[in-house]
């Protein structure tokens, strides 16, 4: 990476009807600004990646443009992607987004591109590796007490894990907003973080890759996020070793 060049971090966008000025219920590519602000504060250059059918079929051209990937939070994942029947608790899904991010994540892992997967993103990372999801956590109120508001709780991290190194400690207080979680772990993934209160898996990683981390909480809510900063630094290290 040339001196002064900022690592380019792709942030996958959601698709939802939105409203602004005179426009109502228009399908829009949406990315909470906290993601791009955290990437920028860490020294990266954020770009938002909307679902795209051509990129779903062949993600290589998009992956060529970025140095790291963020799978962001959002809607539930279609249970068909992990071979399950939809339960009543599974909420809004978007198969177009699911398929696009599945392709992007699989391509990033194949290239050994640094990857952070947040909340829904962590769940998708597990599905990409052949894992399953719990469609509704019985103790979800600890992780999502009020829709539209983050819950706060503590997470214990495996000493020496990528998650602990990214956070800089073996325990962390997190902001959380989810009602689903990891079921059976996908191939090669290991659990490295757990909720202190109920043992829900809060961090997973892929040790066979240089940097592939999933966290069930929302580190981007801290503009100076050490997790996002760790991702940006990992992309610098990959470039330096190339």
Which pLDDT value is given to residue 153? 82
DSSP structural state of residue 149: B
Which pLDDT value is given to residue 40? 96
SS (H, E, C) 187-236: CCCEEEEEECCCCCEEEEECCCCCCEEEECCCHHHCCCCHHHHHHHHHHH
Active site residues: 119, 218, 220
Domain 8-241: give its CATH code: 3.40.50.880
Question: How far apart are alpha carbons 147 and 199 in whole angstroms?
Answer: 22
In order along its 242 residues, the chain shows pLDDT tens digits of: 566 789 999 999 999 999 999 999 999 999 999 999 999 999 999 999 999 999 999 999 999 999 999 999 999 999 999 999 998 888 889 999 999 999 999 999 999 999 999 999 999 999 999 999 999 887 655 555 656 667 778 999 999 999 999 999 999 988 876 788 999 999 999 999 999 888 899 999 999 999 999 999 999 988 788 999 999 999 998 766 65
Break the chain into its structural domains and give their ranges: 8-241
Sequence-ordered list of residues with C-beta below 8 angstroms from that of 82, at least 6 positions apart, any chain = 127, 131, 132, 133, 183
Which pLDDT value is given to residue 241? 66
Which pLDDT value is given to residue 183? 95
């Amino acid at each position: 990476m040339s001196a002064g060049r900022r690592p380019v971090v792709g942030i996958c966008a959601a698709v939802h009807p939105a409203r602004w000025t005179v426009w109502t219920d228009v399908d829009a590519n949406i990315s909470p600004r906290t993601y791009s602000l955290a990437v920028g504060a860490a020294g990266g250059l954020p770009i938002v990646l909307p679902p795209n059918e051509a990129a779903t079929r062949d993600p290589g051209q998009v992956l060529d443009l970025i140095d790291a990937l963020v799978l962001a939070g959002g809607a539930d994942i279609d249970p068909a992607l992990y071979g399950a029947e939809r339960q009543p608790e599974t909420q809004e899904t978007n198969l177009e987004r699911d398929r696009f991010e599945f392709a992007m994540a699989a391509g990033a892992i194949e290239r050994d591109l640094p990857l952070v997967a947040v909340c829904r993103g962590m769940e998708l990372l597990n599905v990409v590796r052949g894992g399953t999801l719990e469609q509704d956590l019985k103790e979800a109120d600890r992780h999502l007490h009020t829709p539209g508001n983050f819950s706060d709780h503590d997470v214990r991290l495996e000493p020496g894990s990528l998650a602990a190194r990214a956070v800089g400690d073996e325990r962390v207080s997190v902001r959380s907003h989810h009602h689903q979680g990891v079921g059976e772990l996908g191939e090669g993934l290991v659990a490295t973080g757990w909720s202190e209160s109920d043992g829900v898996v809060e961090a997973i990683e892929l040790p066979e890759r240089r940097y592939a981390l999933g966290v069930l909480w929302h580190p981007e809510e801290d503009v100076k996020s050490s997790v996002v900063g760790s991702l940006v630094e990992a992309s610098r290290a990959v470039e330096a070793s190339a």
